[in-house]
Amino acid sequence: MRYEFSAWHDIDTFSAQTAMTLDEVIETIPSHLKHLFKFYAFGYQCGGQGTIMSYADEILPIYSSPEISYRGIPCGNKKFANNALRLREYARHLRAQLAVASERRTTRAEGNLPVTQ
């Protein structure tokens, strides 16, 4: 199974790079591939500062998340700006992959499966 990691810079930069709005980009993605794109994983600006994936002049040392605020302003939202969630999802995926690989090595070491390269 292939796992896609998608974290994006801020929406304004994304739109400038693609010369399309986010809604226009979403419309061009075939329905069978839309699950690979995580459009909630953009950078964000809050309190005059940007999160790590934004192109703001001044960057806060945080990833976008609606659970974090700076100067009382949320540094993300659930729909478009939650890089922190995307990173947690990816970490869980990697942990699961490592567990599977470890189980395979253990099984091979016990002689239950042939070792293949």
Query: What pLDDT shows up at residue 7?
Result: 74
Between CA 14 and CA 40 the distance in angstroms is 13
Query: Phi/psi of residue 37, each to 5°?
Result: -100, 130
Q: Considering only CA atoms, which of 20, 16, 73, 76 is closest in space to residue 44? A: 76
For residue 112, give both structure tokens.
């239950």
Mean pLDDT of all residues in 3-12: 71
Query: What pLDDT shows up at residue 16?
Result: 81
Q: Integer distance in angstroms from the first to the last C-alpha of the chain?
A: 18
Q: What is the mean pLDDT of the chain?
A: 86
| Extents of the domains making up the chain | 11-109
Contacts of 112 (CB under 8 A, 6+ apart): none
pLDDT in tens, 39-78: 888 999 999 999 999 999 999 999 999 999 999 999 999 9
Query: pTM, whole model, 2 decimals?
Result: 0.72
